[in-house]
Amino acid sequence: MKNVPFHMSLPCLSISKTEDFYVNMIGAEIGRHSPRWLDVNLFGNQITFTKAGSFNFTFKTYKFENTVLPSFHFGIIVDKSTWEGLYAKLAKSEFDVMAEVVFLKDRKGEHKSFFIQDPNGHTLEFKCFKKQKEMFLM
């Protein structure tokens, strides 16, 4: 199966703060929008943010290897250059960035990640695989 874009819809607290974060911090483009919802082009994938209240998820974290991670998060897999550029930019921002973590070191699927919360409390993960072809290998 060839790669195809995905669509995800998420609640947001503020359309304007969400737009500002994704455009000015991440470098995404805005698509269709209204005062109550916003489509974001996140590396060719469509995220729709709809103005809503906050959510309470029961299991907020889980442990992978020796790192505690947010159980509810979404992310994007980018090349090394894009990953490094985003990490450098976001690490200097007012947003809290979880420092670079390398998972599956010296094993199939080795990748580095960092996490950041958007203005709605959604956690984004940015991943860069050492070998892209190992993305689904165990």
Domain 1-52 carries which CATH code?
3.10.180.10
Question: What are the angstrom distances between the C-alpha of 36 and each of 11, 89, 136?
Answer: 10, 29, 36
Partners of 97 in the beta sheet? 116
Where in the chain is CATH 3.10.180.10?
Answer: 1-52, 59-138
Tell me the average pLDDT of the chain: 88
d(CA 68, CA 85): 25
> Is residue 15 scored above 80 in pLDDT?
yes
CATH class of 59-138: alpha beta
The confidence band for 7, taking pLDDT boundaries of 50, 70 and 90, is confident
* pLDDT attached to residue 113: 93
17-56 pLDDT, tens digit per residue, is: 999 999 999 999 999 888 888 999 999 999 999 888 777 6
The pTM for the full model equals 0.79
Q: H-helix or E-strand containing 84?
A: helix 80-91
> Is residue 1 scored above 60 in pLDDT?
no
Helix (H, G, I), strand (E, B) or coil at 80: helix
Both ends of the chain: CA-CA distance in Å?
19
More confident residue, 73 or 126: 126
